[in-house]
Structure 1
């Protein structure tokens, strides 16, 4: 069936809400990642040397915005093109960075759970729905699949 117009609209609507308070939602997002997987802290250079998540860390905010925005853009691409299309240079960079950071498949599930929980809080009980959750989950899964494929290319280069 593909990614529907309704799913794209749900992602765009919730992205607009997230953008209203990126500092708060960035902090929440990373707090949830570390709540779910405390050892992940060492995978982020901007968290590694801090005893707690720094509230005013511009790198934390920038990284969270990238994750939120790329997932939102993935949703739009799924609707328009039927697949996630990321520039080769960006995808190559993402694959290399994730490999070098020691990211493995289960880490993507941690980030997905943190993303969905952040969105649920942003939207509130009255606007959050299973449909919205499914739309973001699909967009994230497609983006994660593209990054994982590139990670595989980085660890198994063609001879």
Structure 2
């Protein structure tokens, strides 16, 4: 989470108005009158579902379309996450989407950056199953002097 915030800060330092627009877009209610979820929280919940159950990208896009149809008129859920799928360079900075070798040869189908997502909760559960490991993970908290 910290890396993501630092990355967002670095990206939007040059254009704070763009960051403000990004935050406003993320904080929009999922649909008019919705007080429980924002556009961002709804997408994060759906991405967690995708990762937890190993959904394919096509399945996820189909689910976005179907859920969007179920929501009231004016909903903010995107109907696709593949807006830039066919681009070969970044629409903002123009850098290549694919890795470039030292000899300036573009390696098609080898992406420059890859974002890996894994849900942390199952890993924490596995780590805390072992008594020895859980003691090691909590020793810094338990060893502190609590003076009130």
Structure with the higher helix share, 1 or 2: 1
Instruction: Kindly name which structure, 1 or 2, has the bigger radius of gyration based on alpha carbons.
Output: 2
Higher relative contact order (CA closer than 8 Å, sequence separation 6+): 1
Q: Which has the higher strand share?
A: 2
Shared fold per TM-score greater than 0.5: no
TM-score (norm 1): 0.25
